Each structure stands twice: as structure tokens, then as C-alpha cells.
Structure 1
Amino acid sequence: MSFEFLKKLPTPTEIKAAYPLSEEFAKIKRERDEEIAKIFKGESNKFIVIIGPCSADNEEAVLDYTTRLAKIQDKIKDKILIIPRVYTNKPRTTGIGYKGMLHQPNPEEKSDLYGGLVAIRKMHIDIIKETGLTPADEMLYPENYWYLEDVLSYVAVGARSVENQEHRLVSSGIDVPVGMKNPTSGDFSVMLNSVVAAQSKQTFIYRTNEVTTNGNALTHCILRGAVNKHGQNNPNYHYEDIVRLYNMYKARELQNPAVIIDANHSNSGKQYKEQVRICKEVLHNCKYNPNIRELVKGVMIESYIEEGAQKVGEGIYGKSITDACLGWNQSEELLYEIADRLI
């Protein structure tokens, strides 16, 4: 075998003991989780906006950005619930390149998985402490979820992971909403099959234990666009797409039908400024069709302090080192406009 076992890493229990979430901030998270759950259950008409950088590469900049979000949240809290997007794992199509803070707490240095585990847990906790907002992260590695399970209010499963059995089964035991993205092929049935699996009771092996779960009734869909066999982007945020998903949901009789619209990725063709237009179209469709408003619980936006993207090592504070993002001024304006356009 070509595996070289470098070191044994601390267990989630050990990391949590070293970097605990206090009861004060655990209470904030419980209250936020309850408010988010009410939206997905249809008990609240608030609109969710999951917003933040493509990858959370620097705690100082991410905290700065999230503090700005918290100030806006106070002003639009009657209509919008903001969940900061704090993604610490970055899936790579080729497996090469910056893989997120978990792998490289300093993007300009070599991989340090122990340092990464500490850095990502500390950053999530610091965001709760400093802003009162509770974050979202992508579950790229299901076994690693337990390091963060007490600090996250939203979990996303990516387009390349959504068909994976372990992602589906682990999602069935998560206590907060889990968004299942459509696969890169765009097949809605694959996404809905993942929702079925995650909403169902399951028994499986997890972290060397035999476990059972009750199913996660808050598992839902995320539409992020698709790529066809020619490598061309096919958006799926349009009116007809959402109506189709609404009808497919009804046929499945799933709990809490819901979708989040990802305004970037293949929906925008990674043209980050298009996110503004896409959000406006989604809101127009919500206003036009009550079934769409019932199904669409929110949008997902890639945004940071500085617009665009840079290469690792360029050193521009608050600018993405992965996918290009909206800048702060555009993001602030968009959040207020979303609030103004809501029914």
C-alpha cells in the first residue's frame, strides 16, 4: 500500500474539549436553529440568505465580513434571516489546488490537518461570539462533521457528493437543515433521492461505531445549475425549473418541501455579478406564483469584502482565492433590495 500514516489526529471529543462552545453561545445557536427550522417547516415567512465567501480562507477577513453582515441583519430581521457562509472545505474537480482551511490554515503554507481542525472550529466559534450569527459549512468529509456539529446551523452537500451513500446517511442524523445540491448533471431525481435517504431512518457504520438515526425532516434541495456533456452551463433557477421541482416534490410526498437557489456556480456560469440579477428573478417568480414562494426558502450568494478573485499569494485582504465573489458594496445593496422585494 502507498498510504503513509503521518500522525494520529485528536478525536472530535478531544477537539471540542480543547475549544468548547460555552453554554451562553450554545443557547444563541439553539434559538437560531429554532428560527431557521420554522422557516423550512413553513411556520415563518422569513427568507433565508446564505451569504459569504466561496471559501473561508482567513479568519480575520471572515470575521470582519461577518460582523458587517450582523449589522445588516439587525436592520432587516423582520424579513430576512442571514446565515453566514463559512466554507472551510473546498472540493476540487481535479483534486489539485487549495482545499480550504481544514487542509491549509495558511493558504501559502503546506497542509496541516491538525492546525486546520483547530482553525476551523475556532473560527466558527468566534463568529458566533463576535456576531451572534451561526454559520453554514459544506460537509465535504462526512466523518469530519462531528468536529463541528455543535457550531453549525446549516449544512450543504455539494454537487459531487450528493450521490454518495455516506453523505446521505450522515445527513439523516444531523439536527439542522441539510441542503442537497443537484448533481453536476442537473438530474433532479438524484437530488430528491438524496432527500429521501436523509429524511429516512438509517443504520450504518460511522466513526467505527454502529449507529442509527431518526431521519432529518429538514433536508431539502439546492438548485445550483448543471453542466451538459459539452461542458456548457445550464441554469436551473428559472420559473419552469422551480415549478417542475415543486411538482416532483408533491409526487414524492416528502416532509417540508423546500429549495434554496444557489445564485452562483452553474446558475451564473461563475459570472459572479449575475448573482444580483438571478436573485431578483427568483424574487419576481416568488411574487408571481404562490407555489414558488411556498417552495423557495431562500438564496445562496458568494460574496466577500473585495469583488472578484485573486491567486494564492497576491495578498489582497478580503478577496476570494477560489471562485470570484460579489464585493461588499454590491452585497449590502443586494441584501437591502431582497428585503424590499419580499412579499
Structure 2
Amino acid sequence: MIFTCPASDSMCHFYRPLTSSVITQSTGSKMPEQQVNNLNVLAQDVLTTPEALKNAVPLTEAAERTVIEGRQTIQNILDGNDPRLLVVVGPCSIHDVEAALDYARRLRELADQVSDSLYIVMRVYFEKPRTTVGWKGLINDPHLNDSFEIDEGLHIARKLLVDLAEMGLPLATEALDPISPQYLQDCISWSAIGARTTESQTHREMASGLSCPVGFKNGTDGSLDVAINALQSVASPHNFLGINQAGQVAIIRTRGNAYGHVVLRGGNGKPNYDSVSVALAEKELEKAKLSPNIMIDCSHANSNKDAALQPLVLENVTNQILEGNTSIIGLMVESNIGWGNQKLTQDLSQLQYGVSITDACIDWDTTVETFSRMNDKLAAALAKRIVK
């Protein structure tokens, strides 16, 4: 379509509307319309609604009790009313449901043994952020073969969460996709916002509406500014686009989440779990008028992604607490049945049982030894912590 002035020049003033005409081909017909929608979309498969999935896989009374008690205990730890350390521990990612259940049974027993000093929450991560490409987690590709049966992935994930919560284990996950929390968050006692998404407005808005405490990791460059900005944002009300339980696009209006805290995970190849880094983080949080609640991620840049260094980070943190630190309220540890990690191959029968296919993890024996020792060392020191 083009616009032209009227035939009379005297009528052509800058404030008068221009008449329009349609460009036609030599035959006088209109040009064929070109597609402008979904040029790069191959298909759109409709998912089960959150409401339908919850009806199909309901949260049992026992599981619901675990979730509620888990959230309340974590809030008490953040408020300074429970002196124990919050310990989020488990596989880097879940790819084998049976191995996850096996790990959980072991962890349930360990949690009772170390409950004097440590409050154990199982890490159950179904979604993995990727710098480029790669397996994005059990929800996205539950069969590990690029079939991307996301609907089935959601069913598998929810069933596993309910089964784990029924064991009495509070659960933690990373809130990565802004839609999946509507399907799973009623099973979760603690959520993480990762280093790649802490700066994202979408994730800050989403976290402001989550029903559980949320840990924000510092940026991949090691900076704490983005996490502090996120904590200030997440505590405020937000209004944003999302979906409701019926799967309809909706305006989500949140009250804000008062239980956000920072997670130090290192960055740019440098750790930030040492006492100097922790003290600097305390000052920055206090300057921003935020509670100096700090969780230490013992993996990622804090261990240079070397699983063997995770116990050394734990030992360092233990010593800081013995020396009087009161700001460290928790730990995150990547642990599995077997040591290290393995590559995901097309022949799934070649995968080792209980070994991570993402980041390397410490094995079960090391997990038991490390936390048992930590529990014994910290019992007296943690009991002396005053309410902040």
C-alpha cells in the first residue's frame, strides 16, 4: 500500500490525511499475501494443563505435609530461629528415576543421622540451562534421545517429586522455565535461580510469586550486584504474563517473596567461598538493607567444577562457622551414588548407574563421611548462634 496527495496541490497540506491506493500487478490483481507468522516454528503440540496433571498425579497428604514443614523450617533458618545449616544436596541433574529413588532412600536415612546440625533438602533438578546446546533435562527430553516428549517429561517429574516427598524428604529445584512451576512448585520447598538467569526480569518476576524460599546465585562473572538487585526485586509485587492452572494465558499478580537470599557460586574461574569473600558479601547485603543470609555453592566455580574439591570447600565453611561466622546459613553440594560424571551417548545401555551425565558429583560414601564429620564438628557452634 502507498500513500499519495490529492490531485489538487492546493489541497495538499501537511496536516491533511493522505489518500491511499493499492499497488497492483499488471493484471490489476492484488499481490499474493506472504506468511508473516511462525516462520521458524515447525509444530505446536498442546500440553496437559497444570490442573489436569495435578489431578492425574495428586500431592498426597504425607507429601503435602513434607512440603509445608520443609518450607517452614527453611524460613525459620533464614529468620535465625533455627540454628541448623540448610543443606541442598543431590545429583547435578536427574536423568534416571530409579537411581534418584535409590539416592533418596539413602539420603533420608542420612538426614536423620545429621539432623542435629544439618537440615537436608534433596536437590532434584529437571531443567538444565545451556550456554550453547545440549541435553536440557528430564522434562525437556525424558528419554535422552532428542524425542523431546515434554508432556511425558512433566508427568515423570511430578510423579517422582510426589514419591520423594512421601518419603519425608523436602525437595529443591531450579526454577528455569517460567511455565513449569505451575506444574511442579506445590511439591518444592526451596528453589534456585541460576547464575545465567538471576539478572533476568522474567525470572525475578516469577520468583516473586513462588510459594517457597528462593536462592539467587551471583553472576557467572562472580559479581554480587545482580543477585542483590534480584533480591530487592523479588521482594516486591509484580504483574506479568503467565499461565494459570487451566493453562490459559493470564496476568499473574504477585505479592512478592520475602524469603530470597544469595548463593555464592564463584565466577570467572575464581572462588568466593573464602572468609574474605563472605565478609565482602555481608557488607554489600547490609549496605542494600538485606539480611546477610548466605548460602555457599560448593560446586561450579567454587570447586573449579572438580568434584574432589567440594569436600575441601565444605571443610573451609565448617572452619568459618567454628571461628564465629553467623551469615552462612546453607550449603549446596552436587552428590550422586557414583563418583564423577559421564558423557550422554546414543547407546543408553552403556551409561553407568548412579553417575551424573551433567556436572561431576561426589559419590555416596564421600557424602556420608563429609556430612557426618560436619555434623559432629558443628553441633556445639551452631547451637550458640544467636537469633539475627
TM-score range, shorter chain: over 0.9
C-alpha deviation, 1:25, in angstroms: 2.0
Give per-residue Cα distances to partners, 1:282-332, cap 9 Å, x unaligned: 12112223xx32x21111000100001112233211000111110110011
Match of 2:50 among 12, 15, 19: 12
> Paired residue for 1:332?
368
> Paired residue for 2:339?
307
Q: Aligned letter for 1:296?
A: I
> Paired residue for 2:32?
none
> Paired residue for 1:137?
173
Q: CA RMSD in A?
A: 1.2
CA distance in 2, matches of 1:257, 1:168: 19
How many residue pairs get aligned? The number is: 332
Provide structure 2 residue ranges, at least 5 long, that are not aligned to the other structure.
1-38, 244-248, 382-388
> Paired residue for 1:152?
188
TM-score by length of 1: 0.94
CA distance in 2, matches of 1:180, 1:22: 29
Q: Aligned letter for 2:339?
A: E
TM-score by length of 2: 0.83
Q: Aligned letter for 1:193?
A: N
> Paired residue for 1:214?
255
C-alpha deviation, 1:340, in angstroms: 1.6
Match of 1:268 among 279, 296, 303: 303
CA distance in 2, matches of 1:55, 1:28: 22
> Paired residue for 1:104?
141
Match of 2:158 among 105, 121, 124: 121
Q: How does 1:84-103 map to 2 (within 5 A)?
A: 84-94=122-132, 96-103=133-140
CA distance in 2, matches of 1:211, 1:319: 39
> Paired residue for 2:215?
179
Give per-residue Cα distances to partners, 1:169-218, cap 9 Å, x unaligned: 11111121101001101111111000110111222222222222111111
CA distance in 2, matches of 1:118, 1:244: 43
C-alpha deviation, 1:28, in angstroms: 2.4
Q: How does 1:176-325 map to 2 (within 5 A)?
A: 176-207=212-243, 208-227=249-268, 233-254=269-290, 256-289=291-324, 292-293=325-326, 295-312=327-344, 313=348, 314-325=350-361
Match of 1:43 among 51, 71, 81: 81
C-alpha deviation, 1:47, in angstroms: 0.8
C-alpha deviation, 1:101, in angstroms: 0.3
C-alpha deviation, 1:32, in angstroms: 2.0
CA distance in 2, matches of 1:296, 1:93: 29
Matched-pair contact (CA < 8 Å) for 2:237–2:256: yes
Give the secondary-structure state (helix, strand or coil) at the position aligned to 2:180.
helix
CA distance in 2, matches of 1:142, 1:12: 13
> Paired residue for 2:15?
none
Match of 1:77 among 105, 109, 115: 115
Give per-residue Cα distances to partners, 1:139-179, cap 9 Å, x unaligned: 11122111111100110011111110010011111121101
Matched-pair contact (CA < 8 Å) for 2:264–2:297: yes
C-alpha deviation, 1:109, in angstroms: 5.5
Give the secondary-structure state (helix, strand or coil) at the position aligned to 1:49.
strand
Give the secondary-structure state (helix, strand or coil) at the position aligned to 1:106.
coil
Q: Which runs of 4+ in 1 moved over 4 A?
A: none
C-alpha deviation, 1:6, in angstroms: 3.3
C-alpha deviation, 1:12, in angstroms: 1.0
C-alpha deviation, 1:259, in angstroms: 1.4
CA distance in 2, matches of 1:280, 1:302: 15
Matched-pair contact (CA < 8 Å) for 2:218–2:265: yes
CA distance in 1, matches of 2:152, 2:329: 36
Give per-residue Cα distances to partners, 1:82-136, cap 9 Å, x unaligned: 0000100011111x2111100121224522111111111111111112x210211
CA distance in 2, matches of 1:37, 1:17: 29
Matched-pair contact (CA < 8 Å) for 2:208–2:236: yes
Give per-residue Cα distances to partners, 1:214-272, cap 9 Å, x unaligned: 11111110111101xxxxx1111111111011111111112x43111000101111011
